[in-house]
Amino acid sequence: LNTFTYAQKTAEAPAISEKTLNSILEKNRTYYTQGKVADYIPELGKMDAKAIAFSVVDKNGKVYNTGDVSKKFTMQSISKIIALMIAVTERGEANVFDKMGYFGSDKPFNHFSNLETTGKPLNPMMNAGAILTTSLISGDGDKPFLKVLDMVRFITKNPTIEYSKSVYESEKATGHRNRGMFYLMKNNGLISGNEDQLDNYFRQCSIELTAEDLAKIGYFFANQCVRFDGDTTYKNAEIAKLIESQMLTAGMYEFSGEYSRTVGLPSKSGVGGGITVSVPGKMGIGVFSPSLDQHGNSLAGYHMILDMVKQFGLSIF
């Protein structure tokens, strides 16, 4: 614990600039050497471990970028917050959370809890709960996936966003554990459809975007689902609170508790190397570096966020 580092508010927060972001990025660039690119999905293993990007959208919707900001990567688990927003909008929160818990994560993202005990997933941020969430979005075939894709395009105002067919196929070909969870939940009476629904989960994980897109997603949930340019089409303070609370308690998997202590902001990671961060009522942060720690969270990404939070006094606590 003597090496413990945490975010402490500084008296005077400096102004955000690309120069400040760049110095934070450079300070943390070499963290990639201490982690590992995810290769349990073969296609993900091809990512450039040295790529790194850092993006912030401030309270006024102004974008600041540094690093490999045009580099695309798959959003992976970050798609879970978008699917949750859609499922809850369609069915209501009580209906969705009758089938899964609000519990924090103390287990890896692909853990089966609590499917063998209570019969229900712990939360919508672990794979089981996320697979179930996507299956709760209405529509046949790939319609639920297309809703997730459209929402990502809307929030980022980026209609060019697509999914990576090769990553999707790689996930589908190797995702036996996810398939196991899908059938266990079907056995438990939580899922009624066929494997198309699991495919939608694999597809949504394969949506490709940039760190800037992630910063805009962070901004959206930080600001009651108002888009960075002020568009209020989906404005909803309750849904934003729900998503942010899940991000805080389970968004970084079993690291979520320690992350809350050190960073203190609702955040969601994905094994593609991205993390989206919401600074409630204020800004959005998006980071990318594909080298991961043992929990599946971007290592350099975490350290960039930590430095940003320290410099600007952003922790909610």
Given candidates 7, 122, 161, 205, which one binds ligand DON under the rule CB under 6 A? 205
Interaction of residue 109 with ligand DON, rule CB under 6 A: yes
CA distances from 117 to 114, 146, 184, 280, 311 (A): 5, 33, 12, 35, 44
Catalytic-role residue among 55, 77, 79, 256: 77
Q: Which is nearer to ligand DON, 21 or 275 (CB)?
A: 275
Q: Which is nearer to ligand DON, 172 or 186 (CB)?
A: 172
Amino acid at 126: M
The label of the residue with tokens 């690119």 reads: 37
The response to whether 64 counts as a known ligand-binding position is no
The response to whether 178 counts as a known ligand-binding position is yes
Query: How many CB atoms lie under 10 A from the CB of residue 262?
Result: 18
Q: Is the dihedral of CA 87, 90, 285, 273 positive or negative?
A: positive
Question: Residue 183 catalytic?
Answer: no
Interaction of residue 262 with ligand DON, rule CB under 6 A: no
Number of residues near ligand DON (by CB under 6 A): 12
In order, the DSSP letters of 134-179 are HHTS--STTHHHHHHHHHHHHHHT-TT--B-HHHHHHHHHH-HHHH
Residue 37 is given by DSSP the state E
Alpha-carbon dihedral 15, 279, 26, 303, rounded to 10 degrees = 140
Question: Residue 77 catalytic?
Answer: yes
Amino acid at 200: N
Interaction of residue 28 with ligand DON, rule CB under 6 A: no
Given candidates 55, 127, 135, 249, which one binds ligand DON under the rule CB under 6 A? 127
Q: Which stretch binds ligand DON (CB under 6 A): 89-97, 229-237, 269-277, 301-309?
A: 269-277
Q: Which stretch binds ligand DON (CB under 6 A): 18-26, 93-101, 235-243, 263-271?
A: 263-271
Amino acid at 11: A
For the chain, the residue count is 317
Binding residues for substrate: 77, 127, 171, 178, 201, 253, 271
Write out the residues near ligand DON by the rule CB under 6 A.
Answer: 76-77, 109-110, 127, 171, 178, 205, 269-271, 296
Instruction: Please identify every residue annotated as catalytic.
Output: 77, 80, 201, 253, 271
Residues annotated as binding site?
77, 127, 171, 178, 201, 253, 271
